[in-house]
Each structure stands twice: as C-alpha cells, then as structure tokens.
Structure 1
Amino acid sequence: MHKHLGVKIVGILFLAVFFLTGCKNNNSKITVVGSSAMQLLAEQAGNDYRLAHPSSNIVVQGGGSGTGLSQVQAGAVEIGTSDVFAETQKGINAKKLKNHLIAVVGIVPIVNKNVGIKNLSTEQLKKIFTGKITNWKQVGGKDEPITVINRSKGSGTRTSFEDIVLKGQKPIRSQEQDSNGAVKKIVNSTPGTISYISFPYANDKHIQKLDIDHVKPTNKNITTNKWKLWSYEHMYTKGKPTKKVAAFINYMLGKKVQKDLIPEIGYLSINDMKVMRDSNNKVTKIG
C-alpha cells in the first residue's frame, strides 16, 4: 500500500513539474510576425538572444508588413514588424500600438544581368513601373521587352517603393511575389525582368543592382538621403510591451545588435542616420 502511494506521489510531482515547465516555456514565447525585409535581422537577433537567454523562445515569421500590423493589433502576436508607419495603413489604429524604431533598410531596383542597364533616372524607373516604358532599348539597353515583377499587396517594401518612386501613380498590372528571395530568383532566371529588393538580400553576383540618377545604392548614401529608396524597420507592440517583450526590444536597440549585427548583415543602425523621415515621407535633418 505504501509502495503504491509512493509511486502515485512521484507521478503527481512529475506531472506538476511538467505542467509548470510547460507553462514557463509557453510564457517565455515571443512571436514576431510581419516584414520580410526585416525577417533576416529578426531571425538572427532572435537566435543570438536565445543563446544568451536560454529560457526565452523567439519565433520569427514573415508574411508582410500588413500582416504584422494586423496581427499585433489583434493581439495574436507580441511583436508586429513593419517597413511602414502604422498610421499609413487602412484598418490599423496606430494610437493603440507602440512604435519601436529598430533599423533602416535600403531598397534597390534589380534587373536581369543581360538587359544591358546599370543606371536609370527616377523618371525612367517610374515610367517602367507604370507601363509607359516597355522595352529596354527605350532606356539604352537591349531590344527586349520589359517584364515587371512587383511585390504583393501588403508588402511594406512595395508601399515604400511606390510612395517614393511612383508618387501616387498607378503601377502596371504585373506578376507579384511575396518575398525578397522569390523576387531575386525570378529576376536572375528570367530575361528582361526588373524588380526591387532590400539591401541585405541584394548581395548576389547573378543580379544587376541599378544606380538611380547615377547615385550608388549604399548605406552611406542612405544616411543623408542621397539614396532616397529606404525605409525604417519598425517593431510594433500593442500598447506598452510586457517585461519580457521590452527586454527583447531593448536587446534589439543595444550595442550588440546596433553596432555589430545590423551592419554585418546589410542593414543600417538608426543611430547612423543624419536625416529622419515622418509618416508623410517628409525628410528632415537630424540635429
């Protein structure tokens, strides 16, 4: 009888420890969803954070800025990442969200290497993406039809590109892709194609990055807005973040990420910017 009682007590204690451990693991989970442009940074930083904080559980997913904002607003995730300001998005109540500016990312037009173009003016780029220029020979390239690859609706990168380049004009109907990786693969393999991707994904010898108005797509040129195609990388929380979420965001804003990781993988620290941009795309000097 005593033996059975002892086994029963041990079993109950085991279940209690299992339950408490499970709860602890669940409570330590932080889900980060949204911008595919920020996904690379969030994943790497999340991995590093887990190594330094073994009890933490950072889960990072893409889906686009629109998804990140709607998910965090609904309370479905702890952090929604976005390349655009929440107040610019329909259906998002920015007053209920808290904005944490983490980094800056450049956006660069890319073309198939065989089109014969290395530079476009802003006006030429706009005319290509609005369907007014349809052959590469019109801009000094091959006699070859232009195939435009756009990003999906809900993409913050697309919103930033269209706000800065198209300035309210309607884009041509074209094939759409969800991610930087998919865009890069298609441009590499398909003759006559043009699209745009984030700087951290653009280090590929198989694609041709374009200068705009003879300005090189570099992070240094972004700091002064000489290269105008860039956006902030935001982390949004639903109101004031919890203690565990605040700790992770503080880590993102700390030296290890801002000084080491961000430049290493192609982003730009917000601390290096000499200009700032508001939600209306107005750029002003800092200081």
Structure 2
Amino acid sequence: MKGKLYLAVGSSVALVLAGGLVSGGAVHAASDSRVMAVGSTALQPLAAQAAEMFGEKHAGVNVVVQGGGSGAGLSQVGKGGVTIGNSDIFASQKDGVDAKKLKDHKVAVVGIAPVVNDDIKVKSLTMDQLRDIFSGKITNWKDVGGQDEKIVLINRAQGSGTRFTFEHEVMNGEDTKTAQEQDDNGAVQKIVSKTPGAISYLAFSYTSGPNAKGLRTLSIDKVSPTDKNVRSNKWQIWAYEHMYTVKKTDKNTKAYIKFVQSSAMKKTIKKLGYIPVSDMNVVKSADGDVKKSK
C-alpha cells in the first residue's frame, strides 16, 4: 500500500453541470457567481444539502456539486478548474498535487464501515479476517463463521478517497485483491444490497436510509461502527471531509465554506450521517498520527 493516492480518470467526470462542463481535466464555468465543487462522493450528500440551504440565503449564487472521487477533486482544484475540491484525504496524500498551493477547510468527519449483503450470517470480523478477505486469502464465508458461500468483493476505483482511507487503516501494506470496482459510494450501496455474498465498505452516510435496505454493517473486533466510537478513535476507519481551495479564492466560495462549517449546519451534518469536527475527541494528522483534542 503506497502512501499516495493516484488519480484514475474515469467516466464519472464527464457531464454538463448547469452551464459548466466537466470533462476529464477541466471545468469551464459560465459565471463568477457559480461555485463549483467536485470530488468526494462520500462528502457529496452533505455538500449538496449545504448548497441548497446556502442558495436559499444567497440569491444569485449557484453552488454546483458533483462527484468524481477525491482524486479528481484535488486534481481539478489544483489546476484551477474548479473552485472547491472535495476530498476524504489530505492533499499531501495525493500524488501530483502541490498541497502547499491549496488551503484545507475541514467541514466534517466521516466514518467508513465494512458492509455486506444481509444474507450473510456474520456480524463481526477481526481486523485480520477483514484484511484477509480483501487480500484474497479468505474466499468463503464459512471460513469466518458464516455459511458456505463464496465471498464477492466489491471495491472502489483508484482515485477514491474512501478506498484510500480503508486500505490505509485496514490493509497494513498488503495489496487488495483485484475485484469489481465502482466509481462511487452510491453504486457500491446498490450492488452490495442486491448481490448475495457481497462485501465492500461505505461511508457511514450511505449505511442507513431507504437506499441501504438489503445491506448491513459489520463490527470489527467486536467494536461497532458508530459515531461515538469514531469520536474516540475506538473505531479507527474514519477520515476528515475536506473542501480544498486555492489560497486566494473568491468571496462566494469563502461564504459557502464558512456556511458549511457554521454551527447552524451541525444538526444537518449529524442528520446526514457525518460528525461535526468540533465533536471529535481526537485529531488525526496527514501521516496518520492520532492525538487527543485539546
């Protein structure tokens, strides 16, 4: 497992966005009043909800939110193609991005949990078992206390911050077995819920609600994937949700990010399955060190 995130350009970033075009490596905005946020699909539900709420208070400012993965978001904002690069990882963890030229705005924390199709009888795995499943050493659920059924691996695509965080915290340097890859959390959610024997991992914000019917989370070493356990780092698979900008950005972008970070958004942040940064009992650095909050 390398300590950098490599961008894989895929079909998830190629569409027209309300007057702007995202295509491969550039976004062409139609107006200075448009804030364009591209990147992490884990952060996308929060960014989109905040954009709608922000728009109600700031007539004439259009905030456009699109996925594409953390790698795409960091690459685009680094090139000046978008105003905000949404990311689950620190910019310094992505190869090819000059983090010194960007400004980090942490807007929330997201937990990431292993998820399985609800036909699986297993409720908890050890960290070693989880690692062995994703490395391909364990291929049948009966080997971890479940039924005699083939394990179907569903992975996120290269360039995904969710994948980077999962591999960094779980794989301990081991390679992930080649498996079916999906571009975003929503696709993983749908496939795992409909595929017997399937296992993957999702941001907490995608593990509940009507679209999560048919899948459930797994505990690790008997620790449940809950906000409370993330706040204390008892559950260690979590990441900050970052909104990266260039050092000197426009006033509308500043206002939108300030709104996302405001106390008025805390209730919405929690409702959508994220954790306010101010609620954390620990802080995590880009190199993975975790310390108690002051």
TM-score, L = length of structure 2:
0.88
| SS at 2:256 equivalent | helix
For residues 81-230 of structure 1, the aligned pairs below 5 Å read 81-203=86-208, 204-230=212-238
Residue 16 of structure 1 is matched in structure 2 by none
Q: Give the distance between the partners of 1:26 and 1:42, measured in 2 at CA.
A: 20
Cα drift, residue 205 of structure 1: 3.6
- Kindly provide the CA deviation profile for residues 197-255 of structure 1, in whole angstroms up to 9, marking residues without a partner as x: 11111003411210111111111110000111110000000113222211111111111
Whole-angstrom CA distance in 2 between matches of 1:115 and 1:221? 24
TM-superposed CA distance for 1:51, in Å, is 0.7
* 2:13 corresponds to: none
Q: Distance in 2 between matches of 1:192 and 1:166?
A: 21
Report the equivalent of 1:252: 260
Q: What is the letter of the counterpart of residue 266 of structure 1?
A: G
Task: Give 3-state SS (helix, strand or coil) of 1:216's partner.
Answer: coil
Shift of 1:72: 0.2
- Give the conservation status (yes or no) of the 8 Å contact 2:88–2:241: yes
Is this contact kept in 1: 2:193–2:213, CA < 8 A? no
Identify the match of residue 271 of structure 1 among 275, 278, 283: 278
Shift of 1:168: 1.4
Q: Aligned equivalents of 2:223 and 2:120: distance in 1?
A: 19
Identify the residue that residue 68 of structure 2 maps to in structure 1.
63
SS of the residue aligned with 1:30? strand
Q: 1:238 aligns with which of 246, 252, 255?
A: 246
Which entry has the higher C-alpha Rg, 1 or 2?
A: 1
CA distance in 2, matches of 1:43, 1:246: 16
**What is the distance in 1 between the residues matched to 2:147 and 2:109?**
34
3-state SS of 2:45 partner: helix
> What code does the residue aligned with 1:133 have?
I
- CA distance, structure 1, for counterparts of residue 158 and residue 213 of structure 2: 28
2:42 equivalent among 12, 25, 37: 37
Partner AA of 2:117 in structure 1: N
Q: Distance in 2 between matches of 1:95 and 1:273?
A: 26
Deviation at 1:270, TM superposition (A): 0.1
SS in 1 for 2:92: helix
Equivalents in 2 of 1:269, 1:82: separation in Å?
16
Q: Distance in 2 between matches of 1:36 and 1:137?
A: 33
Match of 2:3 in 1: none
In the alignment, the residues of structure 1 paired with residue 253 and residue 96 of structure 2 have an alpha-carbon distance, to the nearest angstrom, of: 24
Aligned-partner residue type, residue 194 of structure 1: I
Q: Which amino acid aligns with 2:115?
A: I
Higher helix share: 1
Counterpart for residue 292 of structure 2: 285
Name the SS of the counterpart of 1:116 in structure 2.
Answer: coil
Amino acid at match of 2:214: H
Give the letter for the 2:226 counterpart.
Answer: T
Alpha-carbon distance between aligned partners in 1 of 2:139 and 2:132, rounded to the nearest angstrom: 9
Structure 2 unpaired stretches of 5+: 1-29
CA contact (8 A) 2:156 2:184 kept: yes
What is the CA distance between 1:80 and its match in structure 2?
A: 0.3
What's the offset of the Cα at 1:269?
A: 0.1
SS of 2:81's equivalent in the other structure is: coil
TM-score, normalisation: structure 1: 0.90
Separation in 1 of the partners of 2:110 and 2:268?
A: 13
Percentage of matched positions with identical amino acids: 50
CA distance in 1, matches of 2:205, 2:145: 28
